[in-house]
């Protein structure tokens, strides 16, 4: 039965939050605030929080900076996952993914379908791994952020969650790079 193993110690992760929006600032960013509240409430560390417009280059620049920083374990974006002309978060970030996390989108849509029905089709929620950092792209509503965090991420980003979780494999995400260096390849 899945759940928290209380005999294991909690390991706080460093999580950065990026809101993608042409119309929000920190004072009006309810989705980013929802994620920050949940991240800190779970015992993790907010490693950064920013807002950028729906622009591929700006989104990619901020996330590239975070995934290059050894003090960021996870990046969560909110916004820009729809189908309008300005929704470009997947286009900005999926090219960075070394590995795609197909199951994240599937599970997110299952949860979303139970709450909003077929309207879940309007989201292109996605996730992957880049530079040994998890990246999760959620829709831009506080409800979608609550669903993504409360139903998926709070468990998978907790090392105590059984039968398995993302935290326990975090140190192995870049083992292909370590193996190359061990064989004398240049970095």
**pLDDT, tens only, 39-52:** 999 999 999 999 99
Fill in the DSSP letter of residue 169.
Answer: G
pLDDT at 177: 66
Q: Please check whether residue 5 lies inside any domain of the structure.
A: no
pLDDT in tens, 110-151: 999 999 999 999 999 999 999 999 999 999 999 999 999 999
Q: Please check whether residue 4 lies inside any domain of the structure.
A: no
2 pLDDT tier (thresholds 50, 70, 90): very high
pLDDT in tens, 62-112: 999 999 999 999 999 999 999 999 999 999 999 999 999 999 999 999 999
Residue 185 has pLDDT above 60, yes or no: no
Q: Please check whether residue 41 lies inside any domain of the structure.
A: yes
Residue 46 belongs to domain with CATH number: 3.40.980.10
**pTM higher than 0.75, yes or no?**
yes
Q: Please check whether residue 135 lies inside any domain of the structure.
A: yes
Are residues 25 and 51 in contact, defined by beta-carbon separation less than 8 angstroms?
yes
Those residues with Cβ within 8 angstroms of residue 53's Cβ, 6 or more apart along the chain or in another chain? 20, 21, 22
Q: Which domain holds residue 43?
A: 11-182
- What is the number of domains present in the chain? 1
Are residues 90 and 137 in contact, defined by beta-carbon separation less than 8 angstroms?
yes
Q: Please check whether residue 3 lies inside any domain of the structure.
A: no
Q: Please check whether residue 129 lies inside any domain of the structure.
A: yes
**Tokens at 108, concatenated:** 């997110």
pLDDT at 184: 38
What is the C-alpha to C-alpha distance for residues 52 and 36, in angstroms, rounded to an integer?
16
């Amino acid at each position: 039965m899945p759940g928290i193993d209380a005999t294991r110690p909690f390991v706080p992760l460093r999580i950065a939050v990026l809101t993608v929006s042409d119309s929000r600032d920190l004072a009006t960013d309810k989705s980013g605030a929802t994620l920050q509240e949940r991240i800190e409430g779970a015992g993790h560390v907010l490693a950064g929080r920013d807002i950028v417009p729906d622009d591929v280059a700006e989104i990619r620049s901020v996330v590239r900076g975070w995934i290059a920083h050894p003090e960021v374990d996870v990046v969560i974006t909110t916004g820009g996952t729809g189908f309008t002309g300005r929704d470009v978060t997947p286009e900005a970030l999926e090219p960075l993914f070394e590995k795609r996390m197909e199951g994240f989108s599937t599970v997110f849509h299952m949860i979303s379908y139970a709450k909003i029905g077929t309207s879940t089709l309007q989201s292109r929620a996605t996730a992957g791994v880049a530079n040994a950092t998890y990246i999760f792209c959620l829709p831009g509503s506080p409800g979608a952020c609550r669903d993504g965090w409360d139903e998926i991420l709070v468990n998978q980003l907790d090392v105590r969650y059984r039968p398995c979780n993302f935290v326990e494999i975090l140190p192995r995400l870049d083992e292909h790079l370590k193996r190359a260096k061990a064989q004398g390849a240049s970095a």
